[in-house]
Structure 1
Amino acid sequence: MPELQLLRPDHAPALLAFERENRAYFAATVPDRGDDYFARFDERHRALLAEQEAGVCRFHLLVGAEGEVLGRFNLMDLADGGADLGYRVARRAAGRGLATGAVRELCRLAADRYGLSVLRAATTLDNAASQTVLTRTGFTVVGETRLGGRPGLSYLRGLGDLATGTEDHRPSPGA
């Protein structure tokens, strides 16, 4: 069973492999990270860990039984009770409900562990899978946006129902 783990220094090799293996797949629906991202990966990984240590962001990986990275689930720019949610799932793990389950778990962590009350997210218009994940996990469309020059939608999700314990936190296997 995949596990959501807070980003650590020893995740670097598996995370780089995940990003390389899925680069073209991701670029079909989200802006590409560019060659510099891969050339300076170790430096970038250290910078992410420093941001996490400072409490500015919380980076999570969905890790499979063999230690492989199946997805990234990040809370960025934590401030004033809110954060931006970003995520990506490996091509080989897509369509199995893993993103939906991980986003639900991250919403719970955001409320319970990080003390957040609202999450923001955005996706391109051509990323129907991401739109479905956001809708299934309680996000609502609040406007239009642009991501890397591409048209998209902005979403918002209050976490108050998680703080009161009224939401079912169990991942739904087929979601």
Structure 2
Amino acid sequence: MTVLERLRPDHAPALLDFERQNRAYFAASIPDRGDSYFTGFAELHAELLAEQAAGMHHFHVLADAGGAVLGRVNLVGVAGGSAELGYRMAEVAAGRGLATSGVRRVCALAFEEYGLTALRAETTMDNAASRAVLGRTGFVEVGAITLMGKPGLRFTRDLSEAGR
């Protein structure tokens, strides 16, 4: 069983473990965060929490019963009733439906708790798993983009009552 929790200060150790354990796995499909992310993690975590408290972003972790982080589902750049969705799952959690479940839960929170009416997302064409998650969770393709030097797609999701 997994729980979706809003990011808190006490998540820092488990979140850092998650990022370290999955660094190479993530770097295979998205740009690496760089060494400074890991050496300055405590300060970065505090900055993110301050930005969340200011309403700029909504960060979430998916954790197992023991508190280990299995994934992140974030809403960034909150403005004008919308935000951009981003997510990443641990390698050990891949293919278990956790990304789909987490995105669905965050979409509900976005509308019910955060008052958002629309979300945006982007992924590269070669990331079939991410495209599948977006399709299963009600996102619709709205155009082609270049992302990290690769062909990609932009998606949106209406969070109105009819769209949830």
Deviation for aligned residue 1:107? 0.4
Task: Say which is worse superposed, 55-64 or 29-38, in terms of deviation.
Answer: 29-38
Q: Which amino acid aligns with 1:101?
A: S
Q: How do 1:17-166 and structure 2 match up within 5 A?
A: 17-160=17-160, 163=161
Q: Which amino acid aligns with 2:65?
A: A
Instruction: Find the aligned partners of 2:89 and 2:144 in 1 and give their Cα distance.
Output: 23
Instruction: Find the aligned partners of 1:126 and 1:25 in 2 and give their Cα distance.
Output: 15
After TM superposition, which residue ranges in structure 1, 4 or more long, deviate above 6 angstroms? none
Deviation for aligned residue 1:148? 2.9
Q: Which amino acid aligns with 2:25?
A: Y
After superposition, what is the alpha-carbon deviation per residue over 1:5-32, rounded to whole angstroms, capped at 9, x for unaligned?
0000000000000000001111111111
Task: Say which is worse superposed, 80-89 or 145-154, in terms of deviation.
Answer: 145-154
Task: Say which is worse superposed, 29-38 or 78-87, in terms of deviation.
Answer: 29-38
Secondary structure, counterpart of 2:126 in structure 1: coil
Deviation for aligned residue 1:54? 0.3
Instruction: Find the aligned partners of 1:119 and 1:155 in 2 and give their Cα distance.
Output: 8
Gaps of 5+ in 1: 168-175
Deviation for aligned residue 1:97? 0.5
Q: How many residues matched?
A: 164
Deviation for aligned residue 1:125? 1.6
Q: Which amino acid aligns with 2:155?
A: Y
Gaps of 5+ in 2: none
- Superposition RMSD on alpha carbons, in Å? 1.2
Tell me if the contact between 1:71 and 1:89 (Cα under 8 Å) persists in the aligned partners: yes
Task: Say which is worse superposed, 61-70 or 29-38, in terms of deviation.
Answer: 29-38
Instruction: Find the aligned partners of 2:117 and 2:79 in 1 and give their Cα distance.
Output: 10
Tell me if the contact between 1:51 and 1:57 (Cα under 8 Å) persists in the aligned partners: yes
Instruction: Find the aligned partners of 2:79 and 2:105 in 1 and give their Cα distance.
Output: 20
Deviation for aligned residue 1:35? 1.2
TM-score, with structure 2 as normaliser: 0.96
After superposition, what is the alpha-carbon deviation per residue over 1:27-76, rounded to whole angstroms, capped at 9, x for unaligned?
11111111111111111100000000000000000011110000000000
Tell me if the contact between 1:30 and 1:124 (Cα under 8 Å) persists in the aligned partners: no
